Amino acid sequence: MKAVEEELLEMKDTSELMLDLAYSSLLYHNQDIAEEVFNLEQKVNELQDSISTKILENNEDMDPDKSFILFKMADSIERFADAALDIADVVLRDIELHPVIKESLKDSDEFMVRKEILKGAFLDGKTLEESEMTTKIGMKVIAIRRGDNWSYGPDKEVKLKAGDIIFARGPRESEEQLNKWTRVNL
């Protein structure tokens, strides 16, 4: 049942990232980040299906109470992911925010961005530590998508590569520098 536990953990991490991205998409009215939430929700659904299948396949070897708890946990996490999608859906459907919410969002000092690292860019081939992104421009990478694989809360030894999609949070004035670091300077 180790595989079920690992998938349950991945499901939890993914749903937590979804909520963070959903709020950020709402805060900054960012369609790209909202679309990532939509894509991640599909991943959570696939993980839930996989977990359910594995539990049912090992039905005879597993305590019924443990099976029930694992089913319930997977279902609860999936509902959490659905709630994150509901938040991002406001951006995806371009729904006008209530004036009170708009006003509170203006006061936010930080914002989140989604950037792709291009081949030959400053960040291509550097670890997060080598980039000194946090100290030099105040941006912190909270997640990296490499193809279909995600790294949540990556550590400083993670090496960035061309094609990576990074999700970073920091001061609004840092976006221009991050744009330069993810693009090729001609």
Q: Which domains does the chain have, with CATH numbers?
A: 2-100 (1.20.58.220), 109-182 (3.30.70.1450)
Phi and psi angles of residue 114, each rounded to the nearest 5 degrees, phi first? -120, 120
The pLDDT value given to residue 48: 95
Which residues, 6 or more positions from 155, have their beta carbon under 8 angstroms from its beta carbon? 128
Which residues, 6 or more positions from 111, have their beta carbon under 8 angstroms from its beta carbon? 24, 27, 28, 169, 170, 171, 172, 175
Contact indicator for 161, 152 with CB cutoff of 8 Å: no
Split at pLDDT 50, 70, 90, the class of 59 is: confident
Number of C-beta neighbours around residue 85 at 10 A: 21
The pLDDT value given to residue 102: 66
DSSP 151: E
The pLDDT value given to residue 131: 94
The pLDDT value given to residue 136: 93
87, two tokens? 């938040």
The pLDDT value given to residue 129: 94
Kindly provide the residue ranges of all beta strands, DSSP E only, lying in 5-108, ordered along the sequence.
none
| Sign of the alpha-carbon dihedral angle for 130, 134, 135, 137 | positive
The pLDDT value given to residue 165: 94
- Of residues 58 and 115, more confidence is placed in 115
The pLDDT value given to residue 181: 94
Q: For 10-43, how does the pLDDT look when each residue is reduced to its tens digit (9 = 90+)?
A: 999 999 989 988 988 887 788 888 999 999 999 9
Task: Give the predicted TM-score (pTM) of the model.
Answer: 0.74
The pLDDT value given to residue 185: 67
**Residue 181: how many CA atoms within 13 Å on its side-chain side?**
25
Split at pLDDT 50, 70, 90, the class of 184 is: confident
Phi and psi angles of residue 132, each rounded to the nearest 5 degrees, phi first? 55, 30
- Of residues 30 and 97, more confidence is placed in 30
Q: For 122-160, how does the pLDDT look when each residue is reduced to its tens digit (9 = 90+)?
A: 999 999 999 999 999 999 998 899 998 888 889 999 999
The pLDDT value given to residue 99: 76
The pLDDT value given to residue 118: 95
